[in-house]
Structure 1
């Protein structure tokens, strides 16, 4: 049994399968989930787990070379916007509609219980060497 890191067996296994360039969408409870990518649904109740908790947990386990979020996050969710800016100084912004289109190409989608708007980010996996 693991004693640290991500303990959810479905999420830990999905992370182990990721490679360089793969996309991982961390999304709020309201984001439409496209058919195709593997989904690990962590949503339990509104706000649980939060976008911030899941983002921090995934960043502790993954090498990330880039991130994309919706432009709308800037006005609609300043807290999530500030969180992403702190982690990704070169955060790419696209329209929410484009982010939904891009999410169809993700390898993994992690759905949180976040209930604030536009708390979504598409991570691009890097390589540790």
Structure 2
């Protein structure tokens, strides 16, 4: 049994399958989930787990070379904005409708229980060397 890191077996296994350039969408409970990508649904209750908890946990295990979020997060969700700006100085912003389109090409979608709007980010995996 693992003693540290991500303990959810479905999420840990999905992360191990990712490669350079693969997309991982971390999304709030309200984001529409497209058909196609693998989904690990962590939502338990409204607000549990939070967007911040899941993003922080994923960043502890993944190499990320880029991130994309919805432009609307800037005005609608100051907490998510602060988190994203803190982790991704070169954050790319696109309209929310475009982010939904891009999510269809993600390799993995991780749904949180976050109940604040626009708490979504599409991560682009990098390499450790």
Q: TM-score range by the shorter chain?
A: over 0.9
- 2:57 matched to which residue of 1? 57
1:18-33 alignment to 2 at 5 Å? 18-33=18-33
Tell me, yes or no, if structure 1 residue 128 matches structure 2 residue 128.
yes
CA distance in 2, matches of 1:42, 1:33: 13
Say yes or no: does 1:14 pair with 2:32.
Answer: no
Tell me the CA shift for residue 75 of structure 1: 0.2
- Does residue 66 of structure 1 match 2:66? yes
Query: Shift of residue 49 of structure 1?
Result: 0.1
> Take 1:51 and 1:109, find their aligned partners in 2: how far apart are those partners?
13
| Cα distance in structure 2, aligned partners of 1:40 and 1:82 | 25
Gaps of 5+ in 1: none
Q: Distance in 2 between matches of 1:28 and 1:36?
A: 18
1:68 aligned counterpart, secondary structure: strand
Moved over 6 A (4+): none
Q: Which residue of structure 1 aligns with residue 108 of structure 2?
A: 108
**1:37 corresponds to which residue?**
37
Deviations 1:22-46 (A, max 9, x none): 0000000000000000000000000
Provide Cα deviations, 1:51-86, integer angstroms capped at 9, x if missing partner: 000000000000000000000000000110010000
Which residue is equivalent to 2:92? 92
TM-score calculated relative to the size of structure 2 = 1.00
Aligned length: 129
Measured in 2, the distance between the counterparts of 1:79 and 1:41 equals 22
1:95-118: CA deviations, max 9, x gaps? Answer: 000000000000000000000000
Name 1:117's counterpart in structure 2: 117
